[in-house]
Amino acid sequence: MSAPLPPIGMLAELTHRCPLQCPYCSNPVELLKANRELDTETWLYLFRQAADLGVLQVHLSGGEPTLRRDLEQLIAGLAGRGVYTNLITAGVGIAEGRIEAFAEAGLDHLQLSFQGARAETTDRIGHNRGAHEKKLETARRTVAAGLPLTINAPIHRHNIEQVPEFIKLALSLGAERLEIANIQYGGWALLNRDALMPDREAVMRQAEIVEAASAKLAGVLNIDFVTPDYFAIYPKPCMGGWARDAFMVAPDGTVLPCHAAHTIPSLTFERFGEKSLGEIWEDSPAFNAFRGTDWMQEPCRSCERCEIDWGGCRCQAMAIAGDAAATDPACIKSPHHARMAAFVAEAQAAAAAHDASADFHYRRITAGHEAAKVKA
């Protein structure tokens, strides 16, 4: 295998703390407390190494990254190295004047999530009363500060029929971009799969609505559509391909190829500080485990798509096939592909029996290993 090219993108999960408790969150079910987070100087040192390594853009995420009191300093550190910064926020509880401070520090873009296009949906999914109005105010302040705005709409059973309303919402707020992001089933979303899975007819209607709106609003609103793996024929490349051009860093400095890589028990991931970013990117056995195509089994190895999807999602293969090297079950060529439809059918049966939203496992930091189960 040839030496890897330098990475160009990085996701920095600055904290797992969050005022919302969304049951679809991609964070691990065992969340890290504040005392496990890297301090300011360590994050700044890490960002300097990332820039030296070739990273051009950093997505500042969480949890809720604005809970970090040093966020302005972190943004300024990246801006000073010419690195593009995108703040991914829930937009709840941001103090007056702080968005303007982010812009002054050099922030390039803000991505704001809405759990629903309607207030009652946002408040129920996020388990935070009044969250919707706070998000609307964050959007207005972002545009007023001169920052480009993306509205992120994580889609699942409980808001999929609101896609036309999400489009109207993004237009009304002056957003430049709308991401219709069907949730991916890892972390808390996997725990809540039965309660969140939409039916196939709703997914097809959604795709038609997005296609028509994208054509109609070309040049006005850029609409990105993240297709749902459980209804796909072919998989998506995970993070552009495992350790191919991007990586993520957890709040404690653990460096990972993707959000859910820690769910693969055969791999051990290193922390920044114990090794440099360059050493981890180039030499880590975990990063090299599924890099390129040499690791692939059949039918992936001889597939004409092997350098298009790069094998798809290794974590999904682990979760569904029990083998991280197996063909992603989202692929129609996978012997496990039928299990995706079976999971959809099971979710529909559960929804028909009762209100599945009453079974949400809401995201929260707990002392134990069991996720808290709270009634909606």
Binding site residue list for [4Fe-4S] cluster: 18, 22, 25
211, containing H or E segment: helix 200-216
Torsion-angle region of 304 (φ positive above 0: left; ψ -120 to 50: alpha; else: beta): alpha
Answer yes or no: are the C-beta atoms of 371 and 136 closer than 8 Å.
no
Answer yes or no: are the C-beta atoms of 136 and 87 closer than 8 Å.
no
Return the SS3 of 122: helix
In sequence order, the β-bridge partners of residue 247 are 10
With tokens 């709409």, the residue in question is: 153
From CA 242, how far away is CA 288, in angstroms rounded?
Answer: 8
From CA 332, how far away is CA 310, in angstroms rounded?
Answer: 15
Long-range contacts of range 94-101, CB-CB < 8 Å, 24 or more positions apart?
A: 94/66, 94/138, 94/141, 98/66, 98/72, 99/138, 99/141, 99/142, 99/145, 99/147, 100/141, 100/145, 101/72
Angle of the 40-53 helix axis to the 71-80 helix axis, nearest 10: 20
Q: In what order do the strands lie in the sheet with 255-256?
A: 222-226, 177-182, 149-155, 109-113, 84-89, 57-61, 9-13, 246-249, 255-256
Q: Which residues are part of a known binding site?
A: 18, 22, 25
Answer yes or no: are the C-beta atoms of 59 and 75 closer than 8 Å.
no
Question: What is the four-CA torsion angle of 311, 312, 318, 323, rounded to 10 degrees?
Answer: -20
Under 8 Å CB-to-CB from 342, ≥6 apart: which residues?
Answer: none
Query: What is the DSSP secondary structure assignment for residue 329, as one 8-state letter?
Result: T
**Helix, strand, coil share of the chain (percent; to 5):** 40, 15, 50
Closest alpha carbon to 241 in 189, 301, 308: 308
